[in-house]
Structure 1
Amino acid sequence: MDLEHARAVAVEAAEAAGALLLDGTRGPLGVRPKGGAGDVVTDLDLASERLLVDRLLTAYPSHAVIAEESGLFGASGGEWTWLVDPLDGTNNVSIGLPAYVVGLALCRSGRPLLGVVHDPVTARTWSAIRGCGALAPSGARLTASYRPSPHGPLLAWTQGYAVSRKDARAGTLRSALELSARRLLQLWAPLLQWAMLARGDIDGIVGYRAEAIDLPAGALLAQEAGIEIRALDGGPFDERIDGAADDRSFVAAHPKALPGLLALVG
């Protein structure tokens, strides 16, 4: 498997989907409820997803594809699986907030090896191949920075759709972070937060029962830029896509910032 070629295919597909989304957000949106927790889906999600799935299956007809809205294409349990998040930040788009991205990940036997995140608004694309580093939009290597502040860290929070407002653990974690952080962001676009962490715009992310579809691309991008990811108890983080939701709770930060962040959630 030529991962550099796969990256080129994924980047081209993500940027084509991004152009579709950018054009679509300039007009009326078809927005409707999704599930019972107040989430929404738009016509743009579906159009972007069709484009991405078609591009990936045309290039790799033997691969499986798991798309956020449509589910599985091809057989499950194969060696190669693509994860497609056609519009990460749908709730933002639905209220006119221009904060959204397209995310793609390629996994081998459940382990992410390639990640691509494209921001249509700024026309920037970040990508990573496991063991080969992360690339900034310029093509230069992306390296996470460590700039501690006396006013506390700038953190982001993400949680899965299934987490209810009555979840005591989620409430406790958020309260601890809000008390100690300089700011606590929740952008409704986890992949955008991962790109911000990889760039050094924020100091860390805490995730609670995160979604499997948008986690691998962003997490791999951040890891290859030098970010470390741990489970909430400080143990190893299980990055495989077939893990349980509880296994997708994590703390991510620069290695020098990680001990302090783990202390906040411990």
Structure 2
Amino acid sequence: MDATAPGEGARPAAFADECRTAVRAAEEAGALLRARFLDAFRVDSKGPDGDVVTELDLLAEELVTRRLSERFPADRILAEEGGTAADRPGSRRTWLVDPLDGSNNVVIGLPAYVVGIALCLDDEPVVGVVHDPVAGRTWRAVHGGGAYGPSGRLRAAARPPRAGRPVLGWTQGHGVAHDDPVARALKDGLEGGARRVLQLWAPLLTWSLLACGLIDGFVGYRAEEIDLPAGSLLATEAGLVVRALDGSGFDARIGQPDTARSYVAGRAEIVPHLLDLVARAARPAGPEGAAAWP
């Protein structure tokens, strides 16, 4: 299939097969995870920052990458645990697979995890799928074709924040140190201006809650690349706004450094409030009170 580039009038029908395949793969992997959730499974450390990888991550990843490779053998696949699961030099199409977003939750028996799959064309997200095995919910989005959840199309509706203050999500990348001064300032600033700040350890679950209106905003600092394409596409296709921390446009293309993966996201009317919160948090770090972000 000769897909059209995102900026050149891509039609939703152009990626219908890709979206269906991703949904089936995500739901099949989700059934595997749900069936094994309470079983004993192997857990290994993943780097010095306390992150983990489980046997379930690997089983779900193998399933998803196999399904994608069978259907789209010419495509490149990047998977969280396997790195480059299928390297196809010269391919314009790259799949990103997070087979178990929320591994740390699963290890402690907390049922808050999802399967995430995205397709990027020339590095820009064009398909995003998130499946929640616990609740049996699937969210999906296609560039230019809208976002959909269990109850149909997702459309951002203007409304005042709950009790006058928003409920927000927060995430930071695994490479961010626990004592990182910017992350600490951001979190403190959000806590001061929000009713509640959720840190779910599963960014794609947070993106999904945002897209369907269950939370008001989402702030990420040096977020992981594997989650961003599906999450940001789901949000923007639902009519939400995603901005860089300084208020400029957010670039969701893959292949960028983690310093380019910080954002605020929410309904259009709440984004100025979120940007004000992060700007005030940044002032001590910049000269003469100016906001400064790495």
CA RMSD of aligned residues (A): 1.0
Corresponding residue pairs, total: 265
Partner residue, 1:207: 220
User: Matched residue of 1:96: which SS?
Assistant: coil
Given that 2:118 and 2:125 are in contact with CA atoms closer than 8 Å, whether structure 1 keeps it comes out as yes
- 1:6 maps to 2:18: yes
- Distance in 1, matches of 2:55 and 2:22, equals 22
Aligned to 1:117: 130
Match of 1:159 among 172, 183, 208: 172
Out of 246, 249, 253, the position equivalent to 1:233 is: 246
The reply on whether 1:255 has 2:271 as its aligned counterpart is no
1:28 aligns with 2:40: yes
Q: Provide the rounded CA distance (Å) in 2 between the counterparts of 1:27 and 1:182.
A: 36
Could you give the per-residue CA deviations for residues 152-195 of structure 1, whole angstroms, max 9, x where no partner exists?
11001001000001211111100000111100000000000000
Q: Give runs of aligned pairs for residues 145-224 of structure 1, distance below 5 A.
A: 145-147=157-159, 148-224=161-237
Residue 56 of structure 1 aligns with which residue? 68
Is the contact made by 1:130 and 1:224 (CA closer than 8 Å) also made in structure 2?
yes
The structure that has the greater radius of gyration is: 2
The letter for the 2-side match of 1:68 is: E
1:49-78, CA deviations, whole angstroms, 9 ceiling, x for partnerless residues?
A: 000000000000000000000011122452
State whether residues 30 and 132 of structure 2, in contact with CA within 8 Å, keep that contact through their aligned partners in structure 1.
yes
User: Partner amino acid for 2:17?
Assistant: H
1:229 counterpart SS class? strand
Conserved in 2, the CA contact under 8 Å of 1:29 and 1:94? no
1:75 and 1:208 map into 2 onto residues whose CA distance is: 30
52-61 vs 26-35, which moves further: 26-35
* Aligned residues of 1:154 and 1:182 also touching (Cα < 8 A): yes
Q: Of 5, 27, 52, which residue of structure 2 is paired with 1:15?
A: 27
Aligned twin of 2:282:
none
Q: Which runs of 5+ in 2 are unaligned?
A: 4-13, 280-294
2:186 maps to a residue whose letter is: L
Q: Is residue 44 from structure 1 mapped to residue 69 from structure 2 by the alignment? A: no
Pair 1:76–1:95, CA change in 2 (3 A): farther
Are the aligned partners of 1:146 and 1:257 in contact in 2 as well (CA < 8 Å)?
Answer: no
Q: Distance in 2 between matches of 1:145 and 1:77?
A: 41
Q: Could you tell me which of 109, 121, 131 is aligned with 2:144?
A: 131
Work out whether residues 38 and 109 of structure 2, in 8 Å CA contact, stay in contact via their aligned partners in 1: no
Q: Percent identity at matched positions?
A: 54
Letter in 2 for 1:134: A
The 2-side partners of 1:157 and 1:146 are apart by: 21
Check whether the contact 1:77–1:109 (CA below 8 A) recurs between aligned residues: no
Residues of 1 paired with 2:18 and 2:107: CA distance?
Answer: 31
Change (3 A) 1:189 1:3: same
TM-score normalised to structure 1 length: 0.97
- Give the Cα separation in 2 of the matches to 1:174 and 1:27: 35
- Once residues 118 and 258 of structure 1 are traced to their aligned partners in structure 2, the CA distance between those partners, rounded to angstroms, is 26
Deviations 1:207-234 (A, max 9, x none): 0000000111011001100110000000
| Contact map agreement 1:18 1:120 (CA 8 A) in 2 | yes
Alpha-carbon distance in 2 for matches of 1:76, 1:234: 35
Task: Provide structure 1 residue ranges, at least 5 long, that are not aligned to the other structure.
Answer: none
- Conservation of the 8 A alpha-carbon contact between 1:134 and 1:224: yes
Counterpart Cα distance in 2 of 1:262 and 1:77: 38
